[in-house]
């Protein structure tokens, strides 16, 4: 059974059809990519899956459960965690604190627990403190742990956002154009990180328009164009597919877009 099953998903903004009748199955353990030129509706699709946008029609099932109309935080609680195309860092907090927020779902305790600080809460806070630093070491930001998050260079902000999402223990990690604005070196680092996560068992759904990156790391690719899914297959199939070449790689201008 697919971990994520999208059926006839449609989004209309007034007259504009941003997503039309999209069907998609993402098997557990897969590193799946959705590609398409700018304006193809990738982010709209992503926002609907993660609950940030209500679909006009269609359903989204996650692990056999209908999540179509759930609120964002409820969806995250089910194990579907996303990052954003425009990095949503928690400014005013340190790098480590950013990751500590990621442990929100995995931990408990509100005002009363924070005031009384009983043994279990202290243990939990110490645990969060330590595990946040482990995750930072995993993405290569251990040395920056106590720094202000907003002072990180852009590439590292992206890595931090991934580390933060990982803290929420996603079953399915949605990465919205994680390589946007990264240099070649940073993109390589990110690609290696995503592959490693996937090897360790996290299902990844990636949105990208960097074809080179996607065909290198993705196991399966779906292509969107003008809001419709035009095809789906392995990287090799996609690269050879005439519709894809026409829609996405066909012209010089599109390749540079």
Partner 1 sequence: MTLRASIFTKLAGYGYVTVGGAVLIAALFAFVFIKGGYLLTVMQLAMIYGVFCVGLNFFMGYTGQASFGQNAFAAIGGYGTAILCVEYGFEPVLALLASMALAGIASVVVGYPTLRLRGHYLAMATFALGLITYDLSVQWTSLTQGYMGYAGIPPLGIGPFTVEDERAKLVCLMVILVIGLWISGRLRSSRFGRALRAISATEQGAAALGIRVSQYKLAAFVIAALYASAAGSLFAHVVGFISPEVFGLQMVVVTFTMLYVGGIGTVLGPAIGAVVASLLPQIVRSTGRFQDIAYALVLLLLLIYVPKGLSALAGIGRLRPAESSTGAADRSESAATCHEPRKRATGS
- What does the binding site for partner 1 look like in residue numbers (CB under 8 A)? 50, 52, 71-73, 76-77, 81-84, 88-93, 97, 100-105, 107-111, 113-115, 117, 121, 124-125, 128, 139-141, 143-147, 153, 155-156, 159, 164-165, 167-168, 185-186, 188-189, 191-193, 195-196
Closest contact distance (angstroms) between CB of 171 and partner 1 is 13
Cα gap 241→229, rounded to integer Å = 13
Closest contact distance (angstroms) between CB of 207 and partner 1 is 14
Closest contact distance (angstroms) between CB of 143 and partner 1 is 4
How do strand 203-208 and strand 220-225 relate by DSSP bridges? unpaired
| DSSP track, 197-254 | HHHTT-EEEEEES-HHHHHHH-SEEEEEETTEEEEEE-HHHHHH-HHHIIIIISSHHH
Residue 240 contacts by C-beta under 8 Å, 6 or more apart in sequence? none
Closest contact distance (angstroms) between CB of 222 and partner 1 is 22
Task: Compare residues 111 and 130 and give the one whose CB is closer to partner 1.
Answer: 111
Check if the beta carbon of residue 10 is closer than 8 Å to that of residue 57: yes
Q: Which residues pair with 148 in a beta bridge?
A: 94
Task: Compare residues 20 and 50 and give the one whose CB is closer to partner 1.
Answer: 50
Task: Compare residues 61 and 125 and give the one whose CB is closer to partner 1.
Answer: 125
């Amino acid at each position: 059974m697919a971990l994520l099953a999208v059926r006839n998903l449609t989004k209309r903004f007034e007259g504009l059809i941003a997503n039309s009748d999209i069907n998609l199955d993402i098997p557990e353990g897969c590193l799946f990519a959705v590609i398409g030129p700018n304006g193809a509706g990738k982010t709209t699709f992503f926002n609907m899956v993660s609950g940030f946008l209500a679909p006009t029609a269609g359903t989204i099932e996650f692990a056999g459960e209908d999540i179509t109309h759930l609120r964002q935080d409820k969806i995250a609680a089910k194990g579907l965690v996303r990052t954003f195309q425009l990095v949503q860092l928690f400014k005013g907090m340190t790098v480590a604190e950013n990751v500590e927020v990621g442990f929100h779902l995995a931990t408990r305790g509100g005002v009363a627990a924070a005031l009384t600080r009983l043994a279990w809460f202290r243990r939990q806070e110490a645990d969060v403190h330590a595990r946040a630093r482990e995750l930072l070491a995993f993405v290569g930001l251990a040395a920056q742990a106590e720094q202000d998050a907003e002072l990180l260079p852009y590439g590292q902000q992206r890595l931090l956002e991934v580390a933060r999402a990982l803290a929420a223990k996603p079953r399915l990690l949605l990465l919205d154009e994680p390589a946007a604005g990264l240099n070649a070196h940073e993109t390589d680092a990110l690609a290696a990180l995503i592959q490693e996560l996937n090897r360790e068992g996290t299902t990844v759904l990636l949105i990208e328009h960097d074809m080179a990156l996607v065909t290198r790391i993705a196991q399966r690719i779906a292509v969107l164009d003008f809001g419709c899914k035009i095809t789906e297959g392995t990287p090799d199939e996609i690269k050879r597919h005439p519709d894809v070449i026409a829609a996405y790689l066909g012209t010089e201008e599109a390749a540079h877009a």
